[in-house]
A and B are shown apart, each in its own frame.
Chain A
Amino acid sequence: QKEVEQDPGPLSVPEGAIVSLNCTYSNSAFQYFMWYRQYSRKGPELLMYTYSSGNKEDGRFTAQVDKSSKYISLFIRDSQPSDSATYLCAAHGSSNTGKLIFGQGTTLQVKP
């Protein structure tokens, strides 16, 4: 079992839809959770970072972490065709290293 599991999709939605992307994790020691966006053939770009449980909002993006159920979510409001990319969740638990454990990534397509 992978430490971070993510449905690879693909997920296809119409422009303007609310998108929900999800991951589960198995390691209780994870405390730091991130969402990265990766366009084809490009490096991952950090979207959101959350420490422990709770919500964090940044513009159209909201990240949620529920440590009790080991569930990580990213919501995208008013989705745009430019949001079409692969979204990767990641986690780590140590304050001494930055060894990120990534999910497989979910491919999102937003259709105009």
Chain B
Amino acid sequence: DSGVTQTPKHLITATGQRVTLRCSPRSGDLSVYWYQQSLDQGLQFLIQYYNGEERAKGNILERFSAQQFPDLHSELNLSSLELGDSALYFCASSEREGAETQYFGPGTRLLVL
């Protein structure tokens, strides 16, 4: 158990809908990262927050947004969902903003029908 929690574990929804994925980092960690894992693209970095502020962005779609709250938990919002958004979404956390040691949560499996 990495200490990072993610909810929900599974999510099934329809195209065009909007969902919110939630992540609680390990105690004491200030950085939160979101990754998407699909069969064809592998594990891809989406976005990083450090102590509430956006620090780095990957190839995150405009339909996706994230935020980190004062209690350091983070949410990833996915809107206007498409079939291709079906994937595993992982949250990771680390103590510092440039930390090389990131601890991953168990993931949320999203299925868009």
Contact = CB atoms under 8 A, between A and B. Distances in A.
Interface stretch (B11-19, B61-69, B71-79, B91-99): B91-99
A49 interface: yes
Given A45-B2, A98-B31, A98-B56, A88 B48 contact: no
A96 interface: yes
A97 B42 CA distance: 20
A104 B44 CA distance: 10
A92 B43 CA distance: 14
Interface in A64-103: 88, 92, 94-103
B106 A98 contact: no
Contacts of A46: 101-104
Interface residues of A, number: 25
Contact of B90 (A44, A51, A94): A44
A94 B101 contact: no
A104 B42 CA distance: 5
A105 B58 contact: no
Contacts of B44: 102
B25 interface: no
A96 B97 CA distance: 6
Interface of A: 32, 34, 36, 41-46, 49, 51, 88, 92, 94-105
18 contacts: A41-B109, A42-B107, A43-B4, A43-B107, A45-B2, A49-B101, A51-B100, A94-B98, A97-B97, A97-B98, A98-B55, A98-B94, A98-B99, A98-B100, A100-B33, A100-B102, A101-B45, A102-B45
